[in-house]
Amino acid sequence: MLLPFVWVLFGSFKTQSEFLHSPGAWFPESFQIQNYVQLFAERGFGNYMLNSIIVSAVAVVGNVIFSAMAGYALAKLRFRGRGFVFPLVIVSMIVPYVALFVPQFIVVVQMGLVNTLTAIVMPVLVLPLSVFIMRQFAHSVPFELMEAARLDGSGEVRLFFRIFLPLTGPGLATVAILSFLSSWNNFLWPLVVAQSQATYTAPVGLSVASQASNTVSFGLLLAGAMVVLLPILILFLFLQKYFIQGVAATGLK
């Protein structure tokens, strides 16, 4: 699994001529950082990264907050239509993401949000998978504990913040990682709604930057790929324990 990553890492330090004359070579003749310098100094990749960070941060916060509230309501509260809402969430997970592009784009146009970061983040603000994960984790919170807190006079808001959230930490971490990956790696939707380089995210910007001169710059492309991969690796290294716990617990329910 690490071999492709290592090849990309070494390839990001190669020159274009090295790719053309010895494409199968693993190691560069000399380590050059010109691809990284060109990526940020000439192609404006820093702005694309900033846009991706903003979109992903908003998506993570939105998914953690809204999916936690939805999961708590679907698992712990009794309300009319509850038996219909959760199957609807499951069905929405089956619908192909691309099939929603046209209705989503019509909504974005009518709201006047084309070519804005708001339009990019809206479809990933609450993911059905996030709601599903938090609903499954909500079932792991003991019913007796919730009832005891209610008898002590705790309201639903207090139960949510003081009992539910602390006991579902791995689920929240899992939702945060998955929502970050979904928004960070999103390419097609930003490509549709972002109509200027000022609103390009990193995946779209990487596609544009690597072909700015009508020829694919392989070293530049691999350097951009490494930069895009870096936040994902950092996030997973810090949260991998909670992510593994969350996936295992969700799969067992």
Tens of pLDDT, residues 88-134: 888 888 888 888 888 999 999 999 999 999 999 998 899 999 999 89
Residue predicted with more confidence, 78 or 111:
111
pTM for the full predicted model: 0.84
Three-state secondary-structure class, residue 148: helix
pLDDT at 252: 44
Q: Which residue is associated with the tokens 């209610």?
A: 150
Please answer whether residues 13 and 34 qualify as being in contact, where contact means their C-beta atoms are separated by less than 8 angstroms: no
What does the alpha-carbon distance between residue 42 and residue 212 come to, in Å, rounded to a whole number?
Answer: 10
pLDDT digits (tens, 9 = 90+) for 137-187: 888 888 888 888 888 877 888 888 888 888 888 888 889 988 999 999 999
pLDDT at 219: 77
* Class in CATH terms, 50-200+231-252: mainly alpha
Please answer whether residues 121 and 57 qualify as being in contact, where contact means their C-beta atoms are separated by less than 8 angstroms: no
pLDDT at 225: 87
Closest CA to 183 of 52, 62, 65, 46: 52
Q: In the structure, what pLDDT confidence band is assigned to residue 250 with cuts at 50, 70 and 90?
A: low
Q: Which residue is associated with the tokens 């490509």?
A: 191
Closest CA to 18 of 7, 29, 9: 29
Is a pLDDT exceeding 70 seen at residue 253? no
Count of positions (residues) in the chain: 253
Please answer whether residues 80 and 140 qualify as being in contact, where contact means their C-beta atoms are separated by less than 8 angstroms: no
Please answer whether residues 223 and 12 qualify as being in contact, where contact means their C-beta atoms are separated by less than 8 angstroms: yes
pLDDT at 211: 64
**Per-domain residue ranges of the chain:** 50-200+231-252
Q: What is the mean pLDDT of residues 58-75?
A: 92
